[in-house]
Structure 1
Amino acid sequence: MRFAPAAAALSLVLVTTASVTIASDRTPDARAALLQEQGRAALAKGESQAAIDAFEAALAIDPGHTALFVDLGEAARQVGLQGKAIAYYREALAREPRNFAAMSGEGEALAERGALEKAKRSLAQLESLCGATCPETQALRARLASGVKPRIAADTGDSKPASN
């Protein structure tokens, strides 16, 4: 009887850990995977809207496929919608907290939005989890080192007007 609460807590932790592990290892729906590949091909050609359409269609088929949120973030960044990209990356991270591509993408979007301190914190977190030599860490570090200029498609209303 003394060990019942501890045993219950331990079993809850094991069930949660097992379900998270299983969720990240699942294979996506074949139709969603095909649409994802079409979207990636369109993104590589610079056809951002076609890529977004393909990724969103794939997400409608398989809403549990986390990699689609990372792809949508990349597409949003390509058209200058860094705020939307950050939201997609954060959704991917909520589903898979150790998704290094989402961490790197979020850091790059933050830098492109002008939030360099937040981007540097993302880099530090990525380095601590993934290491200094992993591709995602190197991509974010290179982006920060390149002297990122903000790329925002439209005024979001959160910037102050320039004074004369």
Structure 2
Amino acid sequence: MRFTPASILLASALALSASSGFSQQSATPAPSPRAVEWMAKGKAAADAGDLTKARDAYETALLLAPDQPGIFMSLAKIARAQKLPGKAIRYYGRALDLEPGNQAALQGEGLAMLDKGAVESARETLAKLRLLCETQCASADQLASAIATTKPPVTTAEAVTNAPKVEQQ
């Protein structure tokens, strides 16, 4: 009985100190100057249309600053431009891991899912994006219009009419 008040006090103190860490948002630290330099090289190469060189520069920047969502966003845009939607989805997912409320990453992920043909997944991403938007937001509207204009995927195999006939001997 003598330890009950002390244990309640200790448990309360531990609960308060543990929960205070959850309420604080950890800010993304600034990238190193070398990472910023490689990001600038990547942007310049992307603007010039050299996507391979841009990807290489951004990947180097990622090695120097692996906690920068902007680098993942740039790599995802390059992957979409190179027609690699699976890789783009993975990069957008990493950006969302670092910044869960990133509307541009959600929009990009939804568009990459459409590129891959995953219309239902894109609709789920749109629902997440609409939850983040407190009012009308352009990124959700653009994703919704892209979903609306996407042709439904083929669910059955189409018959080929001019297939060569194979005769059994």
Report the TM-score, using the length of structure 2 for normalisation: 0.76
Task: State the 1:5 CA deviation.
Answer: 2.5
> Which runs of 5 or more structure 1 residues have no equivalent in the other structure?
151-159
Task: State the 1:148 CA deviation.
Answer: 6.6
Structure 1 residues 6 and 106, CA, compared in 2 at 3 Å: closer, same or farther?
farther
- Residues 112, 148 of structure 1: 8 Å contact kept: no
Among 23, 27, 34, the alignment partner of 1:23 is 27
Count residues in correspondence.
152
Q: Which amino acid aligns with 1:136?
A: S
> 1:44 — aligned with what?
47
Bigger Cα displacement from structure 2, 97-106 vs 39-48: 39-48
Task: State the 1:97 CA deviation.
Answer: 1.4
> 1:154 — aligned with what?
none
**Which whole-Å CA distance do the structure 1 matches of 2:141 and 2:38 have between them?**
29
- Residues 39, 53 of structure 1: 8 Å contact kept: yes
Q: Which amino acid aligns with 2:107?
A: S
> 2:73 — aligned with what?
70
Q: Which amino acid aligns with 1:15?
A: G
Bigger Cα displacement from structure 2, 107-116 vs 1-10: 1-10
Q: Percent identity of the aligned residues?
A: 36
Q: Which has the larger radius of gyration?
A: 2
Task: State the 1:85 CA deviation.
Answer: 0.8
- Residues 112, 149 of structure 1: 8 Å contact kept: no
- Residues 55, 78 of structure 2: 8 Å contact kept: yes
Report the TM-score, using the length of structure 1 for normalisation: 0.78
Bigger Cα displacement from structure 2, 68-77 vs 90-99: 90-99
Task: State the 1:75 CA deviation.
Answer: 0.7
Greater relative CO (CA pairs within 8 A, separation 6+): 1
Task: State the 1:142 CA deviation.
Answer: 3.6
Residues 32-63 of structure 1: CA distance to partner in whole angstroms, max 9, x if unpaired? Answer: 12322332333234322121111101111111
Query: Cα RMSD (Å) of the superposition?
Result: 2.5
Give the secondary-structure state (helix, strand or coil) at the position aligned to 1:63: coil
> Which aligned pairs between 1:91-110 and structure 2 lie closer than 5 A?
91-110=94-113
Residues 64-110 of structure 1: CA distance to partner in whole angstroms, max 9, x if unpaired? Answer: 11211111111111101100111111111122211222111111100
Task: State the 1:161 CA deviation.
Answer: 7.7
